[in-house]
Amino acid sequence: MSTFSVCFIGNSHMVAVKEAWTEHADEVPSGMRAVYFGALSTLLKYLIVEGEALVAGRKTALRNRLIQTSEGAERIEPNLYDAIVVYGLAFSFTERVHRAFERFGTAQFTSKKAECLLSRACVLDMFGSALKRELSIRLVTQIRTISDIPIIVHTKPFRPEGEFRKEISIQSARSSDLDYLKGTLAIFQEAAAAVCAEAGADLMWPEESVCSAPGYTKSEFSLHGLRFNPKEAKGDVHMNKEYGWIVLRPLLARLAEIQSTRKGIGEPQSELLLPPLLC
């Protein structure tokens, strides 16, 4: 049976998914294996293209993290894999989004403090321009210069509901109106999907089942949150392996679709050259 190899590139948010993959290995599609390249976002931004690989350049700290998390590889070579998942680096639905709607707004979504109303198209363009500068899109663009491999961008987790409740209690910019949150999130997601499609990647978001409100994660999933530097803190923005499994299931389904379409079409160039595969 041929191996379908998946390359994950991400920050500490990726750890919850990695642990879930390991714990539920018997439920992972047959032949599917994963390799993980992880580092802080502040380090991953220094990845550069060298030949047909992404490398750390002169950033020793980044190089060491790539070697450690992948168990031996210091170069990310897209063409050695069947799919790439850029995980946890994209599209945070934060207070910046809400502040934009409070300051400008649309005819449907606005506040009493809005300075002016903008068309939906204008808001989409405004968000799109900002999202194009995200690290995840930069990585996709770099990969696209050297490979046509399928790429999935999976967004970072939504912020914990505890932060939402706290900010509502102090009357911050966030709205407690669920319809308002759902509508503004939909516009934000539409802009993000367009940016990803233009860059050449699919986009996936956390499942609704992990959310307590549109754009916010149930507090239970941030208990014992996982990260590269082990930390267990209530209210942490990092999620646990239970969260990891919920978001991993649809991701595995999407990867299985890619696997079925690539059978006999695009095998990794040389499985012998692959870093150790983690399951």
Domain count for the chain: 1
CATH code for position 65: 3.40.50
- Report whether 55 contacts 25 (CB < 8 A): no
Q: How many degrees, rounded to 5, is the angle at CA 196 between CA 105 and CA 121?
A: 30
pLDDT-derived band at 2 (thresholds 50, 70, 90) equals confident
Domain assignment present for residue 278? The answer is no
For residue 90, the SS3 value is: coil
Decide if 133 is inside a domain.
Answer: yes
> Binning pLDDT at 50, 70 and 90, where does residue 97 land?
confident
Q: What is the pLDDT of residue 76?
A: 98
Coil vs helix vs strand at 151: strand
Q: Domain residues for 118? A: 4-273
Mean of per-residue pLDDT scores for the chain = 85
Q: Is residue 87 predicted with pLDDT exceeding 90?
A: yes
Handedness of CA 161, 167, 170, 174 (dihedral sign): negative
Per the domain annotation, does 279 fall within a domain? Answer: no
pTM score of the predicted model: 0.86
Q: What is the share, in percent, of the chain residues with pLDDT greater than 70?
A: 80
For 45, other C-beta atoms within 10 Å of its C-beta total 14
Would you say residue 103 lies in a domain? yes
In a domain, 223, yes or no: yes
Residue 8, pLDDT score: 98
Summarize pLDDT for 110-121 with one digit per residue, the tens.
Answer: 656 666 777 778
Answer yes or no: is pLDDT of 183 > 50: yes
